[in-house]
Chain A
């Protein structure tokens, strides 16, 4: 058997598991077991895929054996494989965390099938080498996320969902428009083929125009300034496991798409396109962190921090130097794990403290020191305190900024890091350190939280590990960035097979 079939596994497994758990909709036990086993299987496949991609270079699967550029290809370059692995880690953690947090009523309404469908969509988006196929995967994950977002049907969820759905559909329509114009320009949908043909287009202004349409479409999905308003309006409304998987993965699909198209396809007028990206990155960082400073609800603080972190990732792409791209890839790796974990911890704070509101929380450190430790690790990592993963991610990016002499961006990035620390210390002071407010909130009798501690503990351990083993992770990010900077390799891997 050809090893390239491996590329399809991270997409196919969640689809099959999702279908199976749909069949077992009324059997909660089977659904849960399928959830954990299925996501674990994807995790194994993702590890093998990354390992194979690391050893043998970019792998390509021509779906249905239609040769590129005519058929759809699945491509696993290092960035794609890394993203799939991160998605698999988040998916597995969410499945384990869901065991104890998702209500039976939601399980009956298809929580697990939707979660698997979401993960299939995310993995498909990371692996496809076809721009229209990317659109299809975007829609797959969007539809699943719509349904997950409104499970429960409370007023806040409806209000949040209307904004989320509207802006994401707008983004999809713009994406489709951009695909149409691009197809009119070059007559191909295969991304590698488009990259080749774009070099022969006579009118570079038209290419840049299409690039800007892609930029707007993906920036809405990535929640970048000034298109982020749907995110803080909706991400804190669903149940915590859903919030965590959204926070970890969905905006990052937008970031990934930006990385893909602005390294592979639209590199003709870097001075213009990446300058715009730079300004967007700077303002995204700034507005996100300032928004967080004004909030007193744990999940809303964390939601605004997603936005500011997206800014850092875009900064790596915008500077477009080798070091900056390494920093960007490193940042994505660090961020997905930390962010999902912080939402998981927020869910445990709710469970043990009875509220998401900082003003109503308090005294958690005294009662649950283990939870306090589990909060501190991702929180300080997010703020960039050494030796945790966030420090190295920020350090590489800021070093790249200094080398590129983008002083404003460097200054803002440092300032935003400081304010992130401020936000995290605010949560720490209010929820963990200060005395519990009187009268205390009624907390339902604690039941076994072992699965929750395991999930957050494991993710926290990964955060520490990324910090301690920063060198090998750096080498991985470096190789991924090299592949991004030399699109020729990607193009040869995809189109070489046809010739």
Chain B
């Protein structure tokens, strides 16, 4: 399962970078979305993929017994999703406003400040 996830995450990163290299603003945005999801999935996988084992400490025990998934990593992902959502929402508005001002979707036309 971890191998499958690794391949999936690799494909997501590759697709994200590819999309970000395109000239269209919308594809750039899709690239950014893929990228943040890829990073989240990576953390999810790194923390261990375990099914049906909640990280609860049994009565009387000191630590979690057996291989449960790491809850901290999932808390990190939650935070990262929220942050990612916020900045992507900003990016959507920015690109929309940019389109209204520049009247083009083509990144090659945006060289005025280089």
In B25-69, which residues have CB < 8 Å from any A CB? 25, 28, 32, 35-36, 38-40, 42-43, 46-47
> How far is the CB of B26 from the nearest CB of chain A, in Å?
12
Nearest B residue to A236, CB-CB: B113
Bound-complex Cα distance A295 to B18 (A): 32
Residue on A with the closest CB to B103?
A: A155
Does A160 lie within 8 Å of B47, measured CB to CB? no
State how many angstroms separate the Cβ of B19 from the closest Cβ of chain A.
11
CB of B112 to closest CB in A, whole Å: 5
Q: A177-B39, A179-B43, A233-B114 are in contact. Are A166 and B98 (CB under 8 A)?
A: no
For residues 69 through 114 of chain B, which have their beta carbon under 8 Å from a beta carbon of chain A?
70, 72-73, 76, 79-80, 83, 86-87, 90-91, 94-95, 97-98, 101-102, 107, 110-114
Report the interface size class on chain B: 35 or more
CB distance from A138 to the nearest CB of B (A): 10
- Which residues of chain B are near A270, meaning CB under 8 Å? none
B25 contacts A155, C-beta separation under 8 Å: no
Residues of A within 8 A of B40 (CB): 176
Q: CB-CB contacts of A67-99 with B at 8 A, as 1s and 0s? A: 000000000000000000000000000000000
Contacts of B91 in A (CB 8 A): 165-166, 169
**Residue A389 lies at the interface, judged by CB distance under 8 Å to chain B:** no
For the residues of A in contact with B, the DSSP-based class is helix
A150 touches B94 (CB 8 A): yes
Of the listed stretches A180-188, A318-326, A428-436, name the one at the interface; the rest are far from the partner chain: A180-188
B42 touches A177 (CB 8 A): yes
Q: Which residues on A sit within 8 Å (CB–CB) of B111?
A: 159
B47 cross-chain contacts in A, Cβ below 8 A: 183-184
Complex: how many Å from CA A25 to CA B102? 30
Interface centre among A146, A153, A173 (most CB of B within 10 A): A173
Q: A165 touching B80 by the CB < 8 A rule?
A: no
B86 CB to nearest A CB, Å:
7
Residue in contact with A173 in the complex, picked from B39, B70, B86, B107, CB distance below 8 Å: B39
Q: Are A142 and B42 in contact (CB under 8 A)?
A: no
**B8 CB, nearest partner CB in chain A, Å:** 14
A170–B46 touching, CB < 8 Å = no
Interface flag for A136 (CB, 8 Å): yes
Could you tell me the distance between the alpha carbons of A237 and B101 in the complex, rounded to whole angstroms? 15
A158 to B112, CA, bound (A): 10
Q: In the complex, what's the smallest C-beta–C-beta distance from B36 to chain A, in angstroms? A: 6
B90–A173 CB distance below 8 A? no
Contacts of A236 in B (CB 8 A): 113
Q: Counting CB contacts under 8 A, is A139 at the interface?
A: yes
Cα-based distance from A155 to B103 in the complex (angstroms): 10
Contact flag A136-B97 (CB < 8 Å), given A169-B91, A180-B43:
no
Q: Is A352 an interface residue (CB 8 A)?
A: no
B20 contacts A166, C-beta separation under 8 Å: yes
Indicate if A162 sits at the interface (CB-CB under 8 A). Answer: yes
Which B residues touch A161, using CB under 8 A? Answer: 94, 98
Measured between alpha carbons, how far is A193 from B40 in the docked complex, in Å? 23
- A142, closest chain B residue (CB): B87
Q: Given contacts A162-B25, A233-B114, is CB(A146)–CB(B90) below 8 Å?
A: yes
Contact call B79/A183, Cβ cutoff below 8 A: no
Q: How far is the CA of A170 from the CA of B46 in the complex (A)?
A: 20
A132 within 8 Å of B by Cβ?
yes
A21 interface residue per 8 A CB criterion: no
Minimal Cβ-Cβ distance residue in A for B99: A158
Q: Which of A150, A170, A180 contacts B35 (CB 8 A)?
A: A170
What does the 1/0 interface line of A218-254 toward B look like (CB < 8 Å)?
0000000000010011101100000000000000000
Residue A425 at the chain B interface, CB threshold 8 Å: no
Closest chain-B Cβ to A336's Cβ sits at a distance in Å of 24
CA distance A146 to B90 in the complex (A): 8
Give the chain A neighbours of B101 by CB distance below 8 A: 153-155, 158
Question: How many angstroms between the C-alpha atoms of A176 and B73 in the bound complex?
Answer: 12
| A441 beta carbon closer than 8 Å to chain B | no
Knowing A143-B90, A169-B87, A169-B91 touch, does A162 contact B110 (C-beta < 8 A)? yes
Cβ of A30 within 8 Å of any chain B Cβ, yes or no, is no
Interface check A156, CB cutoff 8 A: yes
Q: Is the CB of B112 within 8 A of A169?
A: no
Pairwise interchain contact B113-A150, C-beta atoms closer than 8 A:
no
Q: How far is the CA of A154 from the CA of B110 in the complex (A)?
A: 13
Interface bits A128-170 vs B (CB < 8 Å: 1, else 0): 0000100110010011001100100111101111110110011
- CB–CB A183/B113 < 8 A: no
List CB contacts (< 8 Å) of A183-215 with chain B: 183-184, 187, 189
Contact in complex: A132, B76 (CB < 8 Å): yes
Please state if B28 and A176 are interface contacts (CB–CB under 8 Å): no
Contact B35 A159 (CB under 8 A): no
Q: Which residues of A contact B46 (CB under 8 A)?
A: 180-181, 183-184
A182 CB, min distance to chain B CBs, angstroms:
9
4 more contacts with CB within 8 A, not counting A161-B98, A176-B40, are A136-B79, A147-B90, A173-B32, A189-B76
- Which 6 residue pairs are nearest across A and B when measured between Cβ atoms? A184-B46, A180-B43, A158-B98, A176-B39, A159-B110, A173-B35
